[in-house]
Homo-oligomer: A and B are copies of this chain.
Amino acid sequence: MIVVLKPHATQEMITRIVRRVEALGLKAHVLVGAERTVVAAIGDKRGDAQLELESCDEVEKVLPILAPYKIASRETRREPTVVTAGSLVVGGGTIGVIAGPCSVESEAQIMLAASQVKAAGATALRGGAFKPRTSPYAFQGLKEAGLKLLAAAREATGLAIVTEVMTPHHVDMVAQYADVLQIGARNMQNYHLLQAVGEIRKPVLLKRGPSATIEEFLLAAEYILDQGNTQVMLCERGIRTFETHTRFTLPLATVPYLREKTHLPILVDPSHGTGIASLVPAMSAASIAAGCDGLILEVHPDPSQAVSDGAQTLTPAAFEATMATCRKVAAALGRTM
């Protein structure tokens, strides 16, 4: 950590900061420059040290050297983590595809959707039973009845089930039916929920919050990992920017950047990332080319009848075409899909 002192720091000020640094269990090293004095604080210290030093009167700013996450870091573990959940394998060169409707609507709908996405090559089924909706007046999901329909769809197709859990006291119930628990973007910093899914031993798909930095994203994963659950998949699903022509802005550089920083597998959600079905095929192919380990896509037997997110949902035919294109790109890059 580099502690930059305010201009014209006196010897007394420097001494005070050196003592603070040492009190934190770090070694202090003073460097007097032309216009500023800086104190380098050496040692392996994460957590609150930076904040404590920033609040000192003498300090202009604190520049961290180390990333604040640890278990998620590639420096802690070099080999890629491979997540396996029934039919779904993600990471280590294998690309998984999770597809299905935004919401579970009925037995007929989810069964048809499951068989359609399976036929086109999906390796897991997604479907929301508990739906976080911006408006209290919008459809909120079939809840446990929806989970049961998902389990029935797994029974019928063999596809692993990926579904969202919204609150800690639902974790056990959802885990009873699902193969992968999804943490939605709005809940990326719902720490009680992160800890709750950290305590079980089922894979977690963690979506990036729409205004989360990469550090915050990895620290959210760290909350789960820190509880002992090592099966965490990261999912880029678009960030909120000034752009309004798409629902969110899908920043694909996240994929190779995360690859350098973490061993966890990286998925992309081009459905939420664009919000427009006609853009999803191109962005799916682009995600594969960017090097992702998997895709999560909204597919519905008839998007125009979907109770939620229809505008960004692929028809089964469009999904099939998208899969064909993605497979070609993956093959060109020597990857398995």
Contacts and interface: CB of A to CB of B under 8 A. Distances in A.
Interface string A28-43: 0101111110101011
Contact of A136 (B219, B253, B311): B219
Interface in A165-221: 166-169, 186-187, 189-193, 209-211, 213-216, 219
A214 B279 CA distance: 15
Interface stretch (A81-89, A90-98, A104-112, A284-292): A284-292
Contact of A47 (B35, B36, B138): B138
A66 B33 CA distance: 10
Interface residues of A, number: 108
B36 A66 contact: yes
Nearest to A54: B311
B282 A191 contact: no
A253 B249 contact: yes
A132 interface: yes
A35 to B, nearest CB: 6
A278 B250 contact: no
A121 interface: no
- Greatest chain B CB density within 10 A among A138, A214, A287 is at A138
Interface of A: 2, 4, 7, 29, 31-36, 38, 40, 42-44, 46-48, 51-52, 54-57, 63, 65-66, 68-69, 75, 132-139, 166-169, 186-187, 189-193, 209-211, 213-216, 219, 222-223, 226, 239-246, 249-253, 255-257, 260, 273-274, 276-279, 281-283, 285-291, 303-304, 306-311, 313, 325, 328-329, 331-333
5 contacts: A55-B304, A134-B219, A241-B249, A246-B251, A328-B332
